[in-house]
Amino acid sequence: MTTRVLVTGLGTTSPVGGDVTSTWAALLSGQSGVDTLKHDWASDLGTQIAAEVAVDPSDVLERVKARRLDRSGQLALVAALEAWKDAGFRLGDGDGDATDPERVAVALASGIGGVQTLLSNYDALREKGPRRVSPLAIPMLMPNGPAASIGLTIGAKAGVHTPVSACASGNEAISLGIDMIRLGRADVVVVGGTEAAVHALPMAAFGQMMALSKRNDEPDKASRPWDKGRDGFVMGEGAAVLVLESEAHAQARGATAYAEAAGAGITADSHDIAQPDPAGLGATRAMKRALEDARLDPADVVHINAHATSTPQGDVAEAMAIREALGGAADRAVVTSTKSMTGHLLGAAGALESVATVLALRDRVVPPTINLDDPEDVGLDLASTRRELPSGDLAAMNNSFGFGGHNVAIAFRSV
Amino acid sequence: MANQTEILNDLATIVEDIAGVDAADVQLDKEFIGDLDVDSLSMVEIVVAAEEKFGVRIPDDEVKNLKTVGDAVNYIDQAQG
């Protein structure tokens, strides 16, 4: 009998809200978090829009704590603190908290890592010399920095991990957390992803790949998955965290579960470093594996939060993959892309969209894909407006795919 | 050229900014690591900020001798001389 893994806490700081409640309300109401960039550095770029976080982390975190973290670490800590508290845990003192630190782990991903720290310290090195490079630069820029700071804050001693698989990183972290609990390596795993790459260099680099939307004059319309007018993704930033917990541990402390993290499927395309497999074969296998791992039938799946980033090729390939993975049962699944509102959070995307998937199961409602004015005929039930889900036992999936050919699907089941 | 009181005040502001210690607690007899809970990386940041503020050079080998705030104030005072 496989150990059941429950989701007992959620946290986020996103382009549409500074916490879970505000983010979920914004997603359900179809609110875009994309705006024109006000930074001086943006004026030379082909793309001058992005989805920055709605609440700056420096408004929330203690100043001295914040200055020792890269922005990606700040965002991760904000989300993790919310999720930890939401799960009913307390910080540090152990007083009244029955959780053994040696049974608590962290799997917190990032696609790009502390790129803002790296670049600002390189600026300092060139302009003022090596002595002006911060002694904190390495712990701030290392990709595992956010995971480590969460581990330190909540007291996690079962292991602290940082899976890196570009835009699939967040889902890979969730998959790792499920595995750790099933293997008995931890009772509680704080999982998720963070990204803070809204900066001239990553924006210029994605621009050179022809990956970004250039709809600078209509920022809130720029992210439009499956719409015929889509022209690339919109860079987003933020973090999202889920607390995963073994059913036994959750029951023993009387915790409330949002959903079951029922299974995961991970595959690799082995096709191209940046292009997805044109027929979505790797994505199909990831979804099928997730369903098998979760012991679900395709017909159980009533909702998919798709990776769909608003790129011309990727959205269509994923739609084909969904049809292939679910077969005729694909007709029953309401498919959405919350990236239409949040932009693409890269290594945090899977985590934020898993939070949305979990809440969709709990509240029986699917957030809309906004800007779907002229949809491609992809043969799926795309949620161009907010949609209700039926009652009863339901399952849903969240897809994430990343440069390098990484495909990770996570299956959730209602509780 | 700052006198010792001015050096202490400015140094206290730097320590507060970097390590989050209340500037009022940054007194001459306090040890950076033992009393003020300044860690080794923050100490490097404090040294570099002090170099910039007071226009002095504090070599890496010297930093280990600056155990108390008073040690640092004296060193900066003499280095300015």
Nearest Cα of chain B lies from the Cα of A72 at a distance, in angstroms, of 20
B-chain CB neighbours of A136 within 8 Å are 41, 45
Band of the pLDDT at B2, cuts 50, 70, 90? confident
- Using a CB–CB cutoff of 8 Å, tell me whether B1 touches chain A: no
Nearest Cα of chain A lies from the Cα of B32 at a distance, in angstroms, of 16
CA dihedral A17, A22, A23, A27 (to 10 degrees): -120
How large is the average pLDDT for residues A393-410?
Answer: 97
CB A61 within 8 A of CB A77: yes
Percentage of chain B beyond pLDDT 70 is: 99
| Predicted pLDDT of residue A1 | 65
Question: Domain B4-80 belongs to what architecture?
Answer: Orthogonal Bundle (1.10)
Q: By three-state DSSP, how is residue B62 classified?
A: helix
Strand partners, A35: A50
The model's pTM: 0.96
Which region, left, alpha or beta, applies to residue A93 given φ > 0 means left and ψ of -120 to 50 means alpha? alpha
CA dihedral B71, A64, A108, A261 (to 10 degrees): 140
pLDDT tens-place string over residues A23-56: 999 999 999 999 999 999 999 999 999 999 999 9
Report residue A126: phi and psi, to 5°: -75, -40
Nearest Cα of chain A lies from the Cα of B72 at a distance, in angstroms, of 19
Residues 6+ apart with CB under 8 A from A19: A11, A12, A13, A82
Q: In whole angstroms, give the CA distance from residue A382 to residue A366.
A: 10
Do the chains contact at A64 and B44, CB–CB below 8 Å?
A: no
CATH number, span A262-414:
3.40.47.10
Nearest Cα of chain B lies from the Cα of A401 at a distance, in angstroms, of 38
Average pLDDT, chain B: 94
Q: In whole angstroms, give the CA distance from residue A128 to residue A313.
A: 45
Q: By three-state DSSP, how is residue A238 classified?
A: strand
CB A16 within 8 A of CB A33: yes
| Predicted pLDDT of residue A85 | 96
Nearest Cα of chain A lies from the Cα of B52 at a distance, in angstroms, of 10
Do the chains contact at A136 and B45, CB–CB below 8 Å?
A: yes
- Using a CB–CB cutoff of 8 Å, tell me whether B51 touches chain A: yes
- Using a CB–CB cutoff of 8 Å, tell me whether A136 touches chain B: yes
How large is the average pLDDT for residues A120-144?
Answer: 97
Band of the pLDDT at A91, cuts 50, 70, 90? confident
User: Predicted ipTM?
Assistant: 0.87
- Cross-chain CB nearest to A64 (options B20, B41, B51): B20
Q: In whole angstroms, give the CA distance from residue A242 to residue A260.
A: 11
Tell me whether residue B49 is exposed, middle or buried, using C-beta atoms within 10 angstroms of its C-beta: 0 to 12, 13 to 18, 19 or more: middle
How large is the average pLDDT for residues A160-177?
Answer: 98
Among candidate residues A14, A193, A8, A21, the one with its CA nearest the CA of residue A104: A8
- Using a CB–CB cutoff of 8 Å, tell me whether B19 touches chain A: yes
Lowest-confidence pick of A223-232, A271-280, A327-336: A271-280
Which DSSP letter does residue A199 get? S
Which DSSP letter does residue A275 get? S
Q: Which two structure tokens, joined as six digits, stand for A199?
A: 């900066």
Question: To 5 degrees, how large is the angle CA A237–CA A243–CA A247?
Answer: 155
Q: In whole angstroms, give the CA distance from residue A393 to residue A390.
A: 9
Q: List, as ranges, residues 24-63 from A with C-beta within 8 Å of B.
A: 62-63
Nearest Cα of chain A lies from the Cα of B65 at a distance, in angstroms, of 19
CB A400 within 8 A of CB A321: no
- Using a CB–CB cutoff of 8 Å, tell me whether A128 touches chain B: no
Do the chains contact at A136 and B41, CB–CB below 8 Å?
A: yes
Q: Which two structure tokens, joined as six digits, stand for A55?
A: 């609440």
- Using a CB–CB cutoff of 8 Å, tell me whether B20 touches chain A: yes
Among candidate residues A403, A230, A221, A255, the one with its CA nearest the CA of residue A309: A230
- Using a CB–CB cutoff of 8 Å, tell me whether B41 touches chain A: yes
- Using a CB–CB cutoff of 8 Å, tell me whether B33 touches chain A: no
| Predicted pLDDT of residue B1 | 66
Q: Which two structure tokens, joined as six digits, stand for A317?
A: 């390939």
Q: By three-state DSSP, how is residue A305 classified?
A: strand
Interface test with A, best of B25, B38, B43, B48 (most A CBs within 10 A): B48
Res. A96: pLDDT tops 60? no
- Using a CB–CB cutoff of 8 Å, tell me whether B37 touches chain A: no
| Residue ranges of domains in chain B | 4-80
Do the chains contact at A135 and B45, CB–CB below 8 Å?
A: yes
CB A223 within 8 A of CB A308: no
Q: List, as ranges, residues 204-243 from A with C-beta within 8 Å of B.
A: none
Listed in sequence order, the DSSP H helices in A255-383 are 281-293, 312-326, 339-342, 349-363
Nearest CA in chain B to A135: B41
| Residue ranges of domains in chain A | 5-252, 262-414
The DSSP secondary structure of A360-400, one letter per residue, reads HHHHTEE---TT-SSB---SSEE-SS-EE--SSS-EEEEEE
Which DSSP letter does residue A60 get? T
Which region, left, alpha or beta, applies to residue A410 given φ > 0 means left and ψ of -120 to 50 means alpha? beta
Which DSSP letter does residue A277 get? P
Do the chains contact at A132 and B44, CB–CB below 8 Å?
A: no
Percentage of chain A beyond pLDDT 70 is: 98
Interface test with B, best of A61, A62, A131, A134 (most B CBs within 10 A): A131
Pick the CATH number of A5-252 from 1.10.3720.10, 1.10.10.60, 3.30.450.20, 3.40.47.10: 3.40.47.10
Res. A185: pLDDT tops 80? yes
Helix A115-128 / helix A71-86 crossing angle, nearest 10 deg: 150
- Using a CB–CB cutoff of 8 Å, tell me whether B23 touches chain A: no
Tell me which residues of A are annotated as active site.
Answer: 167, 307, 344
pLDDT tens-place string over residues A275-330: 888 889 999 999 999 999 999 999 999 999 999 999 999 999 999 999 999 999 99
Tell me whether residue A260 is exposed, middle or buried, using C-beta atoms within 10 angstroms of its C-beta: 0 to 12, 13 to 18, 19 or more: buried
Element (H, E) at A156: none
Which DSSP letter does residue A40 get? G
| Predicted pLDDT of residue A93 | 54
Among candidate residues A145, A139, A172, the one with its CA nearest the CA of residue A73: A145
